[in-house]
Amino acid sequence: MSSLHENALQALAQVACAQASVEQPLALYRALDSALAQTIGHTLFTILRYDGKTNESVRIYTNMPMQYPASESKPVAGGRWADTVLTRGEAFIGATPDDLRAVFADHELIASLGCESVLNVPVRWRGKTVASLNLLHIRNWYRVVHVSLAQTFAQFALPALLDHA
């Protein structure tokens, strides 16, 4: 077995074990943050929960609380990103600053953190996107090959998201 596969399996096991922690949802979100950093890589990692009734998102986890505080809410803008992640439930990859500028109002803050690419992965339940895991990193970092592993990790967030809805 390759070291990449061993690393991914170990990270998945750590996330699964974190689900047993009493300190939910933080233990699970931190485990996801660590696992995704180890296996795929990121500079900024956030989890956003979506409310289709109010058309708002709330940041429920961040690895950079000074720049991106948890509990902030914002209206969900329409467009290509929302159609991809929220409506169709597919991952969104933005590889360059131009890609980020086209879909994120806070693209300047993102760039100031050294992030020039993004991988947004929906967390789905009963055919609907309830949240997204958002990984941001250096230019051209994310590839289609990252999507299936990121989607697997994303679904591990579901119990905590449903429990704390």
Interatomic CA distance for residues 14 and 94, integer angstroms: 28
Q: What is the mean pLDDT of the chain?
A: 94
- Beta-bridge mates of residue 135: 45, 119
Is residue 4 scored above 80 in pLDDT?
A: no
pLDDT at 75: 85
pLDDT tens-place string over residues 64-109:
999 999 988 888 877 899 999 999 999 999 999 999 999 998 999 9
Q: How many other C-beta atoms are found inside a 10 Å radius of the C-beta of residue 123? A: 25
The mean pLDDT value for 126-138 works out to: 97
pLDDT at 165: 59
Query: To the nearest whole percent, how much of the chain has pLDDT over 90?
Result: 84
The mean pLDDT value for 122-132 works out to: 96
Label each residue of the chain as H, E or C.
Answer: CCHHHHHHHHHHHHHHHHCCCCCCCHHHHHHHHHHHHHHCCCCEEEEEEEECCCCEEEEEEECCCCCCCCCCEEECCCCHHHHHHHHCCCCEEECCHHHHHHHCCCHHHHHHCCCCEEEEEEEEECCEEEEEEEEEECCCCCCHHHHHHHHHHHHHCHHHHHHCC
* Nearest alpha-carbon partner for 77 in 99, 95, 102: 102
The CATH number of whichever domain residue 72 belongs to comes to 3.30.450.40
Which of the four pLDDT bands, split at 50, 70 and 90, describes residue 5? confident
Q: Based on the structure, what is the number of domains in the chain?
A: 1
Which structural domain range is residue 32 located in?
3-163
Interatomic CA distance for residues 71 and 92, integer angstroms: 23
pLDDT at 78: 76
pLDDT tens-place string over residues 34-65:
999 999 999 999 999 999 888 899 999 999 99
